[in-house]
Structure 1
Amino acid sequence: MPFRVGNRVDRAAAALAPSGLVLRGGLNFAPDEPRPPGPGGAPAAAVLLVGNAGAGYWPVFAQWRRAQTDPPAEPLDLWSREVIARAAAEIGARVLMPNDRPFAPFQQWAMRALRLKPSPLGLLMHPRLGLWHAFRGALLLDDALSRRALRRLNRPRGRTRHPCDHCADKPCLRGCPVAAYGADGFAHAACLSHLRSAAGAGCTRLCLARDACPQGRGWRYPDAVQAFHQRAFAG
């Protein structure tokens, strides 16, 4: 059956809703920029970004995870792919995940669509959600999104100024016990070594740097969610 362009955003959002994942934004690609293939095989015309705002997805994901008789190595990625695939089937889109190769520039797409900027931790700072959000995948489309659809997807909510520009104390940087974040970027090895040591026990429960940020505290991930991500990072 043909897919109606006018309501595909609503249909994708409705397909995602039971999972707690949401449409986070979208953009039309420029004709001359590198583009991943869309569902028809030709370079995609547009992308819808899918992710979470806060941890609304967690109860659904946790229930799915408990039901797995053979726990997968990357459960959140697998679950997210399954959820996004259902939305893709609803609107005739192609699924793209952050870990798919060649890696797609998810962060750059999010910055373009939502006018976000990185925090000192490298995570994108959202004026309303703070650091408590993520982009879990994308829906690639063969047809461009209308201006109306883009306005609905990308309309600013809450303050639009970048909170980090007006934060003098930088508690996120002071919160890291090994000063893993600095002008040279993220010291991955130092962070991981500390996390895997006895001294890093507190960091296995939550990232002290991320948790120190005062922005968007109402969207903060519960401790169980933070511990899950820390354990995944530590391997």
Structure 2
Amino acid sequence: MTLDQLDAAARAVGLALCGALHPKPEDSAPDGTQTLVLLGPDEPRFWDIFIASPEYCDRQPHPLDRWSKRVVATVSAPLNGTAIFPYDGPPYAPFLRWAERSGASWSSPIGLLVHRRAGLFISFRAALALPVRFDLPAAEVSPCQTCDTRPCETACPVGALAPGQEYDVPACVAHIRSPEGAACREGCLVRRSCPISAKFGRRAEQSAFHMRAFLGE
């Protein structure tokens, strides 16, 4: 199997390959891992697949996490892989480190991760620790290096996300809960401002779903 074939298997269930690396000892991958593969939503197909799932329809807690565990197993099992999920912990797996090590994601000017294809909409549903060493594509260059306008730096209406500072979560949450934050409840304005994100095809309903989860609703 090649990485392209693995990507096709992931897309068959609504996911896509978002990066891969050959882990070093300091990357904290499971013993015996030759290739670590990151999986995220296959936009825009993902949302329609997910909302038709039994996990979404049963109205029980954490539908996306439960869906992820079920479908990722169908991808990892044929490869004798170990599935790792960002929400299992503590300790939590270092997904941000893995993403940057993959050469497909980078730190943006505002500190959020930016992906070569998903922009600031990048998210990871799982990683696969595989006992097979796949050939990997060459590392790319961050799209931020060629972004002239950098709209992400000024998109947050309350400055909760801005260059040179930590993410001000309380200010962000307070604004989203206020009447003035109605637009943010449909999806983070900063993430939506990224030119790469704008081409990604994420559904507005999906962004709203994530914002409700962020608020604990």
TM-score (norm 1): 0.79
1:33 and 2:26 are equivalent in the alignment: yes
Task: Provide the C-alpha distance between the structure 2 equivalents of 1:97 and 1:55, rounded to a whole number of angstroms.
Answer: 22
Pairwise CA distance, 1:9? 4.5
Which whole-Å deviations, capped at 9, do the CAs of 1:65-120 have from their partners, x for residues lacking one? 57633x23221121111111111212111110001121111111111112431113
**Paired residue secondary structure (1:185):** coil
**Paired residue secondary structure (2:48):** helix
Cα contact 1:53–1:133 (8 A) shared by 2: no
**Paired residue secondary structure (1:103):** coil
Q: Greater CA radius of gyration, 1 or 2? A: 1
Task: Provide the C-alpha distance between the structure 2 equivalents of 1:65 and 1:209, rounded to a whole number of angstroms.
Answer: 32
- Counterpart among 202, 208, 217 of residue 227 in structure 1: 208
Q: Paired residue for 1:108?
A: 97
Q: Paired residue for 2:160?
A: 180
- Counterpart among 17, 29, 32 of residue 11 in structure 2: 17
RMSD: 2.4
Task: Provide the C-alpha distance between the structure 2 equivalents of 1:8 and 1:164, rounded to a whole number of angstroms.
Answer: 29
**1:67-216 equivalence runs, <5 A:** 68-69=57-58, 71-101=59-89, 102-141=91-130, 143-145=131-133, 149-151=134-136, 154-155=137-138, 160-182=140-162, 183-216=164-197
Most deviating of 60-69 and 225-234: 60-69
Pairwise CA distance, 1:216? 4.5
Amino acid at match of 1:100: D
TM-score (norm 2): 0.85
Cα contact 1:204–1:231 (8 A) shared by 2: yes
Indicate how the Cα distance of structure 1 residues 136 and 57 shifts in structure 2: closer, same or farther if over 3 A, else same.
same
Task: Provide the C-alpha distance between the structure 2 equivalents of 1:212 and 1:34, rounded to a whole number of angstroms.
Answer: 32
Q: Paired residue for 2:36?
A: 47
In the alignment, structure 2 segments of 5+ residues that lack a partner are none
Aligned residues: 214
In the alignment, structure 1 segments of 5+ residues that lack a partner are 1-6
Task: Provide the C-alpha distance between the structure 2 equivalents of 1:155 and 1:230, rounded to a whole number of angstroms.
Answer: 34
Indicate how the Cα distance of structure 1 residues 50 and 195 shifts in structure 2: closer, same or farther if over 3 A, else same.
same
Task: Provide the C-alpha distance between the structure 1 equivalents of 2:85 and 2:12, rounded to a whole number of angstroms.
Answer: 20
Pairwise CA distance, 1:189? 1.0
Task: Provide the C-alpha distance between the structure 2 equivalents of 1:124 and 1:173, rounded to a whole number of angstroms.
Answer: 13
Cα contact 1:94–1:139 (8 A) shared by 2: yes
